[in-house]
Amino acid sequence: MIPAIAIFDLGRTHKKFLIFDQDYEIVEEITTVIPDIKDGDGDACEDIKAIADWMKKQVNTALQNQNVDIKAINFSAHGASLVHIDSTGKPATPFYDYMKALPSEVTADFYKQFAGRAGFSIATGSPALNLLNSGIQLYWLKKYRPEQYKKIESSLHLPQYGNFIFSGKKHADITSIGCHTGLWDFKKQTYHHWLRDNNLQLLLPQAEPVDAHDQIVINKKRIPVGIGMHDSSAALLPFVKTAKQPFLLLSSGTWNITLNPFFEGSLEKEKYLRDCLYYLLDVERKVAASRLFLGNEYDFQAKRLASQFNRDLAQLEVKPDVELLKGVLENRTKERTFHPETMAGTGPFPELKGKAVDLSLFSSFEEAYHQLMFDLTCLQKESVELICGRVKCLYISGGFVKNKLFMELLQAFFPGWEIFIAENKRASALGAAIALHETWQNDPLPEDISPVVRFEPQLDIDLSRYGVSKFVNK
């Protein structure tokens, strides 16, 4: 039997169960989509009971597998989602979705105690993101849903609820608390006093490090079960453990999140307003981050281009063309610029607006696509620069590494930087696995656990002097 660790990687849409061997190679991977249900207001939310039932089934099946010997279990999951449990250990409320819209009077009332949204950001190290700040959910339930609130004994973030399903114990891991929750005081390194001011802190367990775990007996077998991690921080951990030099990690997809675990100094008010925030890897290690809704914007604009030029949406990849890029630079005007249409209130320019580009201005799909990617990558440059400090080494993971034009443009915006493609496609699950390394292995981590490949640009072009503000204000 192969000694192994089992990991649940719980995304908003896809739920994954992975088994890693001692070298952290994937032995088995199961993915499922659990249909949403409705909360009491008719809004979509995840079916937390169905998720728990699926997780129990996967563990029971894995423990009966004659090919693997499960030595440990851990969890990574999306942030900001709280499971509120009652005195019997059952969910006391629906598993409210972090994109659920709260009435404006609720959010205004909440942020008023910080003298506004900017004050909240400075106090808690997080942009004001409504329910993406999980703290506001506690405030909302207590003040506006008192009958539900009375049933709550404890509130756990989703990774810790994974642990609770098997251990019955209540935990809070430092990475789940220390992200965009609005729960943490990054100066005093403890829960923020606004929780005590509202008599809410007793709902939350004390924050613990990522290697915390419980010894649980499951099917007559004693197994260490981790308390779980926030998925973005989990994805960062393998690189932190093995990197030979300071680096940034750009995790790309629907959201492009840049993480700097070597950040020095403090974020200023202006940067919070431009979608920067702190994460935590441990109590004393702050990670600066900047967010960009780039994948969502790309999908929106790509559909427009596909429709205009009668192209197959699944085959939009365009070979980088230096002549087309020169044309983009020579003809750079507001009328030809793709301004964000799905990023309102987010990213480095939350107020940036403009009319939808008239696609008839472009003579071909290829020309329009080069303009689009230039404008999107320009936004990405600005987002990276907000938190890069003196670091000039960038790892990129996720969907955008497949976009050759994006990669060429990014290197052109950062000439002289070392840019690497991170090949591990399961970084969040891997991070949760290595967080428990010492609980089930005696040997040190393999040095090649997070392989990266140096990006070799094909175009010789320097775009370092270009930026969003320069053409917006032109």
Read off the pLDDT band of 268 (50, 70, 90). Answer: confident
Residue ranges, comma separated, of all CATH 3.30.420.40 domains in the chain are: 2-227, 230-474
Instruction: Name which residue leads in pLDDT, 79 or 364.
Output: 364
CATH 3.40.50.170 given to domain 230-474: no
pLDDT for position 244 = 87
Q: Minimum mean pLDDT among 172-181, 220-229, 257-266, 460-469: which range?
A: 460-469
Find the angle CA(465)-CA(470)-CA(474) to the nearest 5 degrees. Answer: 135
Residues found in the chain = 474
Q: Is the pLDDT of residue 474 over 70?
A: no
Nearest to 175 by CA among 64, 255, 285: 285
Alpha helices in 393-457 (DSSP H): 404-413, 427-435, 437-440
Q: What mean pLDDT is reported for the chain?
A: 93
Say if residue 255's pLDDT is above 90. Answer: no
Between β-strands 68-77 and 229-230, what pairing exists: parallel, antiparallel or unpaired? parallel
Q: What six digits make up the tokens of 294?
A: 């780039």
The CATH code of the domain at 2-227 is 3.30.420.40
What are the structure tokens assigned to 459, written together?
């175009």
pTM for the complete prediction?
0.88
CB atoms within 10 A of CB 86: 14
